[in-house]
Structure 1
Amino acid sequence: MLAASYLLALLAILLAWPVPVALSHARWTSRSPFAAMVLWQSIALAGGLSMIGAMLVYGLQPLGDNLLQAIGRAASLVLENKSSDELQFWHLFALCAAALLGTHLVFTLGLTYARITNQRRRHRELLEVLSLPSGAIERTLVINHPAPVAYCLPGGSRSVTVLSDGLVEALSPGELAAVVEHERAHLTQRHHLLLWAFEAWRQALPWLPTSRLSREAVSSLVEMLADDVARRTAPDDVLVRAIALVAVGSAGAATDPAEASLESSRVTGTPGTPGDGEASVAARLSRLLTPQPQLTAAQTTAVLAASGLMLAVPTVLLLAPGLLS
């Protein structure tokens, strides 16, 4: 078990710094946003599992030859209110750290969900005052805003797409259809759940490179995934014009108090809106203006296999000794 704890610690270090840094500079991710998204999720999950697992295994290793046996003995000691001379200071410290980190991650996930839910509720209340239903587009609201703005507001059966009248006036019918298709892709593919999970990860461990880089990468990748859906019904040049116009218009958006309240309560970033960074917009435009070939089936399979292996390694290190005993 001691060797497993060291290997888990090494894996945690790799997934906390060099691996996410290398992936953040990789150029292939825009060629297969889905595969890249899966890989980022694996890095985050495997990194968290490795961090907690390393401390847990180290702390419990004096109590048994494998993790399952050690957990069973630790539970009996707690239930019978007994002490163990085998557990030294550093073992207890590791167990406390594992418990605190695990609790912190779960608590932050719940806190982030509550915060986002409240933001969406307030946002929806503002929309009831500041928007009108679009007569031409189903489940779409239009706000009185001179700048081209488009985003989606998740809410299950109450999910809506929000457009500004400045956007409706500035875009051609084809460009407007591409933007609406993009926003609906965010809703149908549940991108807000991915953003929630990675935002919670960043809030929980803001000092960790993985949390910051993964949040930035996922924000850009969900936009590319939605772009790919819009590309099925609109030519690339139409989508490029729409993205560029929304990006330029949002940069000079008005600062009316009511509109500012809407902007501050918005949860999901969408094409060219203030939540969408300049680097993300540039990357999206670049892949549309100079299309690159998608990853081959073999390359995609390799990325997905690496993602699965990344999750399997810490799981095996934690469970295999118990299964083999």
Structure 2
Amino acid sequence: MLATAIVLGVIAVALAWPVPMALSRAEWPARAPAMALALWQGIALAGAASMIGGLLAFAAIPAGSFAAAAEQLAPALLHGAIPPQYAVIHLAALTLAVGLAVHLMLNVALTAVRAERERRRQHELIAILGDPMPGMPRTLVLAHPEPLAYCVPGFRTATVLTDGLVQALGPDELAAVIAHERAHLDQFHHLVLLSFRAWHSALPWFPIANRAERAVALLTEMLADDTARHEVGDRALGSAILLVGSSGEPGAYAESGGVSPDRGMLDARLARLGISL
């Protein structure tokens, strides 16, 4: 079990810092955003599993296996008679593993509840204030001069535009924006972003959690751009991005501290289209 604990510990350390740092600085994710997004998800899941698994393996060293440790320690939960071979350091590792697992699960649940509350609020507001866009199902227009576009997930998905956006864009550019927002919904980007928002919320002091959330947010924007490029071409999409700017698409879960698109993300998206500011 000691060897298992060491191996899992090494993996946890590697996935906690050097591997995600290297990925966040690499240039290839812009060329393969789907693969990079899958890799980020794998890093997050494997990192958490190896960290918790390493602590549990260390705690189980006196028993020689997870099953034997569970068999020996389970009665202690009821009778309080902890086997003498378990030192304080083993019990501390067990407590830390359980506490970390519970902390992560609670943060996922809390983030999901907050996101659901915000989603319902958005649906209520756009149902009252929005007007259906002719010829565009599940698309609503708000009477507002600022050029904004965003999507609201759920059982009843909706793409929301403002009058300012509709008036500022031509037909192809508008089609690019709508295709981009619908790609977010069709590819369930809100669920991916929710998991990384929960990770960052659970470990706000952990620098790589913030870096991971920002990287994933940019990758989802690139994937949505790829759908729009396929439907309307690079020229219309690039023109729409230039006209709307980074402030034209509020980030998912921005109300609860999530990442909002900024100038860096805007530059990265335009660079893929061969456009520079």
Of the three residues 183, 186, 192, the one matched with 1:185 is: 183
2:60 equivalent to 1:67: no
**Corresponding residue number in structure 1 for 2:82:** 83
Matches within 5 A, 1:255-266: none
Conserved? CA contact 2:246–2:266, under 8 Å: no
CA separation of 1:249 and 1:110: change in aligned 2, threshold 3 A: closer
Conserved? CA contact 1:231–1:239, under 8 Å: yes
Offset of 1:13 from its aligned partner? Answer: 1.3
Conserved? CA contact 1:150–1:161, under 8 Å: yes
Distance 1:248 1:49 in 2: 35
2:231 equivalent to 1:233: yes
Structure 2 unaligned regions, length at least 5 = none
**Corresponding residue number in structure 2 for 1:257:** none
**Corresponding residue number in structure 1 for 2:24:** 24
Conserved? CA contact 2:247–2:262, under 8 Å: no
More deviation in 218-227 or 242-251?
A: 242-251
Offset of 1:115 from its aligned partner? Answer: 0.6
Conserved? CA contact 1:116–1:267, under 8 Å: no
Conserved? CA contact 1:12–1:50, under 8 Å: yes
Conserved? CA contact 1:139–1:160, under 8 Å: yes
Deviations 1:22-72 (A, max 9, x none): 111000000000110011111111110111111111112112x22233223
Distance 2:71 2:42 in 1: 29
Distance 2:135 2:215 in 1: 34
SS state at 1:62 partner: coil
Matches within 5 A, 1:115-154: 115-154=114-153
**Corresponding residue number in structure 1 for 2:3:** 3
More deviation in 276-285 or 73-82?
A: 73-82
Deviations 1:127-168 (A, max 9, x none): 223221112311111011112111100012x10000011111
Conserved? CA contact 1:12–1:51, under 8 Å: yes
Structure 1 unaligned regions, length at least 5 = 252-262, 291-325
Q: Identity, % of aligned pairs?
A: 45
Matches within 5 A, 1:101-120: 101-120=100-119
**Corresponding residue number in structure 2 for 1:195:** 193
Counterpart AA for 1:174:
D
SS state at 1:87 partner: coil
2:258 equivalent to 1:277: no
Offset of 1:170 from its aligned partner? Answer: 1.0
Distance 2:207 2:56 in 1: 23
SS state at 2:134 partner: coil
SS state at 2:61 partner: helix
SS state at 1:97 partner: helix
SS state at 1:151 partner: strand
Deviations 1:232-272 (A, max 9, x none): 11110110000111116649xxxxxxxxxxx7xx7457xxx
Deviations 1:84-133 (A, max 9, x none): 10111111111111111000000000000001111111222222232211
**Corresponding residue number in structure 2 for 1:96:** 95
Offset of 1:208 from its aligned partner? Answer: 1.8
Distance 2:141 2:135 in 1: 11
Counterpart AA for 1:232:
H
2:42 equivalent to 1:57: no
CA RMSD of aligned residues (A): 1.9
Counterpart AA for 2:152:
L
TM-score by length of 1: 0.79
Counterpart AA for 2:202:
A
**Corresponding residue number in structure 2 for 1:33:** 33
Distance 1:191 1:62 in 2: 44
Conserved? CA contact 1:120–1:267, under 8 Å: no
Counterpart AA for 1:54:
G
Between 1 and 2, higher relative CO (CA 8 Å, sep ≥ 6) is seen in 1
TM-score by length of 2: 0.92
Distance 1:73 1:110 in 2: 31
Distance 1:246 1:119 in 2: 24
Give structure 1 regions of 4+ aligned residues with deviation exceeding 3 angstroms.
76-82, 248-251, 266-269
